[in-house]
Amino acid sequence: MIEPIKKFLNSIFSGDIAIDLGTANTIIWVKGEGVVLNEPSVVARNVIDDKIIAVGLEAKQMVGRTNPKIETIRPLKDGVIADYKMTDAMIQGFMRKMARSRISRPRIVICIPSGVTDVEQRSVRESAEHANASEVHLIEEPMAAAIGIGLDVSQPVGNMIVDIGGGTTEIAVISLNGIGAIETIKIAGDEQTEAIIEWFKTQHKLEIGERSAESIKCNYGSATRSNGENIPIKGRDLITGIPKTIEISSDEIRQALAETVFQITTAIKKALDKTPPEHASDIIDFGIILTGGGSLLKNLDIHIRNKTGLPVHVAEDPLFSVVKGTGMVLEDINKYKEVLIAP
């Protein structure tokens, strides 16, 4: 009985925190506990009095269904903070959901995209400090992902990580606690969702919402041609304005996503072209590792393998690779101090 109470008190008053502050989702890891929160990076606010109504899942459920007094905001764009005030409100809301006490002064490790500006780094640090952090450390997402999937990043071996998130796709070669060849594009899960919305507008004169498009992507999206089962799609007819249902082949979703898949594959090829010969040899032996929610697109690994001729593997539990790695750094900051971004 005493041990659970002790664990609870530790989490409230001294538990250090790792945060994967993503464009699509925010995932929080507490030292000694693991993942304690995984919710959409969305805030709902009252436009009249600026009051925050909901954050996370509750706010996401309001997307596309609000009245004129309420707006939903995604405060991160392309992996970085686009709306500082709303990001701050979102983090505070998540802390309340976790029942974190303001007495707590946790150390916080946050992962950020590679190559962000000093100003963007400072915005992230300040948001964490507003969450009452005693220390704030930053780590680049590809490095966190590599640690999270169990790679020894201190070794002189080149490992190519492709992290496909909500706002960005980052391709990096990890070796000797550093990031070598890197390529970042603002094409990832969000762009794929938008591509599906645009496909139905142009090809079928049908307007569908973001949540519907995301569901279609997850359930029927593919990087390779499929036999094509018939699927019903509900939306609003752009000509008549009346709700209607159409039936399409699921292979149309592949066509809708084809350009984004092409751009991700092209970015991987560019990163390979920048890779030093010795690291290229390592990649031939060990392959390319896909992480992030976007890596779950059906047959994406097969498509990339066909286009590069290299082995391609999807990480185990790819949605949590980054936060798991960030959490491992949090658990032993001294061991991983060389991979942290200097203040």
Nearest to 165 by CA among 25, 7, 309: 25
Strand-pair partners of 231: 248
Tokens of 71: 């707006």
Predicted confidence (pLDDT) at residue 227 exceeds the cutoff of 90: no
- Give the predicted TM-score (pTM) of the model: 0.89
Predicted confidence (pLDDT) at residue 7 exceeds the cutoff of 50: no
Predicted confidence (pLDDT) at residue 149 exceeds the cutoff of 90: yes
Share of the chain above pLDDT 90, in %: 73
Is 300 or 210 the better-scoring residue by pLDDT?
Answer: 300
Q: Which domains does the chain possess?
A: 2-38+84-144+322-339 (3.30.420.40), 159-187+259-318 (3.30.420.40), 189-256 (3.90.640.10)
pLDDT digits (tens, 9 = 90+) for 34-76: 999 999 999 999 999 999 999 999 999 998 887 889 999 999 9
Provide the pLDDT for residue 3.
44
∠ CA 261-174-190, nearest 5°, is: 30
Say if residues 289 and 161 touch (Cβ distance below 8 Å). Answer: yes
**Do β-strands 178-185 and 206-207 pair in parallel, antiparallel, or remain unpaired?**
unpaired
Share of the chain above pLDDT 70, in %: 94
Question: 280-284 — which CB contacts under 8 Å span 24+ positions?
Answer: 280/158, 281/158, 282/157, 282/158, 282/159, 282/175, 283/158, 283/159, 283/160, 283/173, 283/310, 284/310
Predicted confidence (pLDDT) at residue 97 exceeds the cutoff of 90: no
Provide the pLDDT for residue 104.
67
Provide the pLDDT for residue 120.
86
Q: Tell me the CB-side half-sphere exposure of residue 53, using CA atoms within 13 A.
A: 21
- Kindly report the average pLDDT of the chain as a whole number: 90
pLDDT digits (tens, 9 = 90+) for 233-271: 999 999 999 999 999 999 999 999 999 999 999 999 999
Q: Which residues of 221-255 are buried (b: 16+ CB within 10 A; e: fewer)?
A: bbbeeeeeeeeebebeeeeeeeeeeeebebbbbbe
